Structure 1
Amino acid sequence: MASLPAPTPWTGPLPPARPPAGMAVHHLPTGTYETRAALAVRGGSFRDKRPFAASAVLVRHPKGDLLIDAGFGAGVATHVGMLPRFVRAPYEAGRTVGEQLDAAGYDRGGLKGVLLTHAHWDHVSGLDSLRDVPMWMNADERQYAAEDPDGKVFRHVSRGHDVHEYGFENRPYLGFDSSYDVHGDGSVVVVHAGGHTTGSVIVFVTVPSGDRYAFIGDLTWQIDGIRRRAERPWLLRKLADSDPEQVRQDLLRVIALDGLVRIVPAHDLGSYAAIPLLVPEGAAWPS
């Protein structure tokens, strides 16, 4: 299948960032579900079954921590049952974000909220184990989640959660027109990429080592979309994306950054490999 045209690589300066000492990112895997590559990216094989990650990322910062997405929750079986039959897939659930925070001895008083890349079920299910934690959303995504049929699980799990609504400033960031600097130091910057859903976002994170991450949500489901410049298959673009053309333009913007930032599609399990787990493998879980 033909790839998208290669964009001009980003040659401008990287935006200034002053990540404070003690800032860190951690991966909190909560499970996987199975999808064939042919349904994930153009040119994928039906024989290639991919374990799609359902994960959260904890961004620790002295001014307050944030979770990026919430993964699977305790009620994931109920949430899957709320989906149309044709989109249900075999899944394996692991420890919820809430269970992992508790196992790590994490003080939830330092958690400012869950910053959602968008409001689809596999990004919000875990809100059911994060009671009293605010949801961070922009106005476009808040409206999408309230009205779109694909917001059904969100509307179920978000009951009782406060919403911290943030907005974007007219400050370009790495090719995107508008951005929101969470802490004012350039360490966590959110850009509007409203094609998959109307309020979808990408979260750029810079840590003290100088490493930069781009948590791109569902701009593409697999890293193949970046490395092979491949969109979702035509039918999936029609079914899954609010604005397929906007997804294409934003995908090209991110492809232009490959090599300068670590790009992490939300469902690409391998892309999390360089991010340390909050609870190390083999650690004892509280009974």
Structure 2
Amino acid sequence: MPTIEPTPWVDPLPAAAPPAGVATYRLPTGTYVTRAALAVTGGAWRDKRHFAATSVLVRHPRGDLLIDAGFGARVADHVRMLNRMERAPFTLGRTVAQQLDDSGYDRSRLLGVLLTHVHWDHVSGLDSLRVPVWINREEAQYAATDAHGAVYRAVSAGLPIHEYALDGPEYLGFSRSLDIHGDGSVVVALAGGHTSGSVVVFVTLPDGQRYGFIGDLTWQLDGVTRGLERPWLLRRMADVDADAVRSGLRRSSALSSVMRIVPSHDLAAYESIPPLPARFAPADA
């Protein structure tokens, strides 16, 4: 059984000085069902996993970002665009757009949606948000040419694209990075492997709590805590470079000793992140 022995992270963490007002909120938009046997090596076929389709709002005085977009209003159409083997029963909740509007959030604060990668379950909600898409060059090229970019190509049509460069230094073992606000509060690092330009988003809050949003380096927390990779067939189907995914997962497992690691599709991984308030106060909207 392929495993990655988790070892604690021992190096110093990068300096960060997040200003007051930096905060994270979870926006769950629905789930879809996958057998554990298809999620992690050694998983049981009878164990059904409800995969999260959750976006995270990162607030910052210089402008807010959403990490991924969750399910959109037309998610049923998006699922029909998938290969039959990739389709799964799903449940749609409220879209990110609906949740933001219901809370009284001022959407003019949004800089855009920062994608961990362009697969359907991370981009579907772009159909309702209509805000800039943050994507790096490697991922944009993958999205334009790979069959798994079909939903992205449909939902991003007509949207402004903010193509950012990962021209900063190595960050926590990942080769290239971008410090979005220049204060260490939101740092994007190239992971690659799952898709050509897939990224990890590191967020540091004013109280010192750190998060690593690792996209699909693994789908479930088992991958982080037990070092379990995807099954062989799923690695062949889902990843462009299994060795790069393995390397990124090894770093993520180590970092779990010093920060909260959030695989995109594990519901429990989001529990420490508060939901949006029922209503933002006018001064905070």
For 1:154, the aligned partner's letter is Y
Question: 1:280 offset after TM fit, Å?
Answer: 5.0
**Percent identity between the two aligned chains:** 65
Looking at structure 1, the residues matched to 34 and 19 of structure 2 have their Cα atoms a distance apart, in angstroms, of: 39
1:177, distance to aligned residue in structure 2 (A): 1.6
Written as runs of structure 1 = structure 2, the 5 A alignment for 1:91-102 is 91-102=90-101
CA contact (8 A) 2:192 2:244 kept: yes
Give 1:76's aligned residue.
75
What secondary structure, in the 3-state scheme, does the structure 2 residue paired with 1:141 have? Answer: helix
Deviation for aligned residue 1:11: 1.1
Q: Hey, what does 2:229 align to over in structure 1? A: 231
User: Residue 65 of structure 2 corresponds to which residue in structure 1?
Assistant: 66
Summarize the alignment of residues 126-141 of structure 1 with structure 2, pairs less than 5 Å apart: 126-131=125-130, 133-141=131-139
- Using a 3 Å threshold, how does the CA distance of structure 1 residues 275 and 263 change in structure 2: closer, same or farther? same
Asked if the contact 1:26/1:59 (under 8 Å) is kept, the reply is: yes
On the 8 A contact 2:102/2:278 being kept in 1, the answer is no
Change (3 A) 1:168 1:145: same
Whole-Å separation in 2 of the counterparts to 1:18 and 1:26: 20
3-state SS in 1 of match to 2:233: helix
* Contact 1:70 1:114 survives alignment (8 Å): yes
1:73-126, CA deviations, whole angstroms, 9 ceiling, x for partnerless residues?
Answer: 000010011111111000000000000000010101100010000000000000
Per the TM alignment, residue 183 of structure 1 is displaced from its structure 2 partner at its CA by 0.1
Does 1:243 find its partner at 2:241? Answer: yes
d(CA) in 2 for partners of 1:214, 1:103: 28
> Structure 2: which amino acid aligns with 1:171?
P
Map of 2:3 onto structure 1: 3
Matched, 1:154 2:152: yes
Distance 1:241 1:61 in 2: 33
TM-score, normalising length from structure 1?
0.95
Matches within 5 A, 1:266-281: 266-280=264-278
* Residue 30 in structure 1 maps to residue 38 in structure 2: no
Give the drift of 1:170: 4.2
Alpha-carbon distance in 2 for matches of 1:157, 1:29: 19
Q: How does 1:196-215 map to 2 (within 5 A)?
A: 196-215=194-213
2:210–2:260 Cα contact (<8 Å) kept: yes
Residues 18 and 60 (structure 1), Cα distance of their counterparts in 2 relative to 1, 3 Å cut: same
Structure 1 unmatched ranges of 5 or more? 282-287
SS in 2 for 1:256: helix
Of 164-173 and 92-101, deviating more is 164-173
Contact 1:26–1:275 (Cα < 8 Å) also in 2: yes
Map 1:257-268 to 2 at 5 A.
257-268=255-266
TM-score by length of 2: 0.96
Read off the aligned partner of 2:207 and give its amino acid letter.
S
Question: Per-residue deviation at 1:243?
Answer: 0.6
Contact 1:100 1:279 in 2 (8 A): no
Letter in 1 for 2:248: D
2:200 equivalent to 1:184: no
CA contact (8 A) 1:113 1:135 kept: yes
Say whether the 8 Å CA contact 1:103–1:279 is kept in structure 2: no
Q: Which amino acid aligns with 1:55?
A: T
Give the total of aligned pairs: 279
Q: Distance in 1 between matches of 2:70 and 2:7?
A: 34
Partner AA of 1:113 in structure 2: G
Contact 1:222 1:267 survives alignment (8 Å): yes
The answer to whether the 8 Å contact 2:37/2:43 transfers is yes
Structure 1 residue 252: Cα displacement: 0.5
Aligned twin of 1:114 = 113
Superposed CA deviations along residues 197-233 of structure 1, whole A, max 9, x for unmatched, are 0000000000111100000000000000011101000
Q: CA deviation at 1:258?
A: 1.2
SS class of match (2:112): strand
